[in-house]
């Protein structure tokens, strides 16, 4: 398998830009919920707090993915992109097409490692 490092880098950067844009768009949703009794009823406050919690969880997932993208970009620079970080075998091209930040082959990922 011959992975084109420039194409991989561009794809990773596109995903990174998309995640950063989503993060910027959801900034207001992650802000503290105002608990003004006059402005919002109890159920509306609870709904707002739930939406805030979901937005914060989504942001944590985006942050984790951004860290994984940075790690993948480092692997490209080191010539290690496309190889499993556990066993050293090549990661299937189709797997990288679906998940360009994957650092484990299907076999190692199936063992339950969350990376």
- Of residues 104 and 36, more confidence is placed in 104
pLDDT of 59: 92
Alpha-carbon distance of 106 to 26, in angstroms, equals: 33
Q: What is the pLDDT of residue 34?
A: 60
Taking the complete model, does pTM exceed 0.85, yes or no?
no
- Contact at 8 Å (CB) between 55 and 29? yes
> Is residue 2 over pLDDT 90?
no
pLDDT above 70 coverage of the chain, percent: 82
pLDDT the model gives residue 42: 59
Strand partners for 90 = 83
* pLDDT > 80? residue 104: yes
């Amino acid at each position: 398998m011959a992975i084109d490092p420039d194409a991989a880098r561009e794809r990773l950067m596109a995903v990174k830009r998309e995640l950063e844009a989503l993060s910027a768009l959801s900034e207001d949703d992650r802000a503290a919920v105002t608990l003004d009794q006059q402005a919002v009823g109890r159920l509306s406050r609870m709904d707002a707090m739930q939406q805030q919690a979901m937005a914060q969880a989504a942001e944590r997932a985006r942050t984790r993915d951004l860290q994984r993208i940075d790690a993948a970009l480092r692997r490209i620079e080191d010539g290690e992109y496309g190889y499993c970080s556990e066993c050293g075998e090549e990661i299937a091209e189709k797997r990288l097409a679906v998940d360009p930040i994957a650092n484990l082959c299907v076999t190692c990922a199936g063992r339950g490692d969350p990376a």
